[in-house]
Structure 1
Amino acid sequence: MKVFIIGVGLIGGSFAIDIKAAFNEAEIYGVDISAQYLDKAMSLGFIDKKSSLDDIYKADVVIVAIPVDATVKILAEILNQVTDECLVFDVGSTKEKLCSSIRNHPKRRNYLAAHPIAGTEYSGPQAAIANLYRGKTNIICEVEKTAFKLQERGMEIFTRLGMRIRYMDPASHDKHIAYVSHLSHISSFMLGKTVIEKEKNERDIFDMAGSGFASTVRLAKSSPAMWTPIFKDNKKNVIETLEEYIANLTQFKELMKNDNFEKIHKEMEDTNHIKTILKGIV
């Protein structure tokens, strides 16, 4: 099985590691605009060969693991070149614009819209790790538009890598993910910005920051090159979530100004319910 991975950073590299472990016959080809990334992926051993889009016709599986704006630009080109027997899936955090962009493509049946909800705050080939996807949810959109035999190939990969599968339409996916992923990244970036601007002494930040601050601001270490296109692509939904979030922050501030700490206690107590919702998630 010839697997072409476009984008050999954290997400693509972690797929390469796990597919090599799960499929003895898998041969991994790396494609990336960064020659340095390809060299690093080769030295780490999770790709077998460097390649390019010109060789995509050889692929049995193509995994597109690059920023969402870049995926929108090249997905049709990839589909133009693959054989009818090749599965193409992406791992992007937004789906509506991407699915719409190839809606009428003659090889739409070769494409499976996927979003494994997994990752870390690190980027690049050196960030790739084994078992990143084990136990994680993989959201599949418009599965009915993918050829059944290629659905089966995709599901075999996802199953062997230990993913849980959930199905959703692209618009619902983008709306929900804005709340549970995109908003948390914005909050983390802006918390980090607020602290850096106020606390000019980096040593003080390092010495005084507890585990709560570190865990809350962890996502601010994520790649701006990946997240800016996500926010742009999902702008409408992200703005809606921000408006609701800002309204809650403003209400909290007003409760503070009015010394209504009984109400603040009640708000936090009600929100503690999230412990039961997220039980078992690290």
Structure 2
Amino acid sequence: MDPTPYPIGKPLQPWGDVEKQSWLSRQVRHRSYADDVVAKIDRLRARFDVEEYGRLDYADGALPLLAIRSRDWNDALPTILVTGGVHGYETSGVHGALQFVEQHGEDYAGKVNLLVAPCVSPWAYERIHRWNPNAIDPNRSFRENSPAEESAALLRLVAPIRDKALVHIDLHETTDTDETEFRPALAARDGKPFEPEGVPDGFYLVGDADDPQPGFQQAIIAAVEKVTHIAPPDANNEIIATPVVAHGVINYPVRGLGLCAGITNARYRTTTEVYPDSPRATPQQCNDAQVAAVRAAIDYALAH
């Protein structure tokens, strides 16, 4: 048993409504989705189409879910899906997606259709958290009849391009708080013992175990390595308790786990993982790494 049990609930007993409400009462709004994200999206409206694809009506206020599209959408072109902020606390996923659109989105005009959902979980973005207010992880909830409205709304948005997408790149981070807060909270919520996995120092990718596309993954790693360092494997040749299959790459069964990376039938799919807590990386480097990953993913897909 964990010698320092999570402060909510009883060890090895799953949470009920009382424990979830206790957890929710501790969540504090640290930053503004409107100021940090919506304002940046609004500045892109002159060059891109912006749509509200859903609205989160939680007890403490409504939050619009926004997506950015290529202005001259052409069904004859391949479609690129970029998602960020599925876990709201993973800051470079959100701001890397926005930076990509701002700096490079127009570079691909006439070559691809871009669909970018930069902040899938705005409530969690504001509270620097992994879950939504119902203590549900949106990134384990991308399935039919999803219990997470964040996930359900994105599934509805993506449905028309599910079979047309060429690339889907989902932008994430692995942080020190994964090990100190979020994994312990998950274990407590589910009534399981907490088993540390370690936090890798550097960038890595999570491919789809059912269709790994190793050449695609390595092209992204090569591009990102010019911006920030790649996570080495641990002594067991693993990253977060998962075997390393190539430099900086592990694979998950993304659809079986209900992960965002499995929501389309895109030939090329991956999840980025930036490490913002490294003494060797700045916040801007983390955003730049996400941008490099997106560009490399698109360029590889178009070349192959």
Tell me the TM-score normalized by structure 2.
0.25
> Which protein is richer in strand relative to its size?
2
> Which protein is richer in helix relative to its size?
1
Larger Rg: 1
Tell me the TM-score normalized by structure 1.
0.27
Q: Which has the higher contact order (CA 8 A, sep 6+)?
A: 2
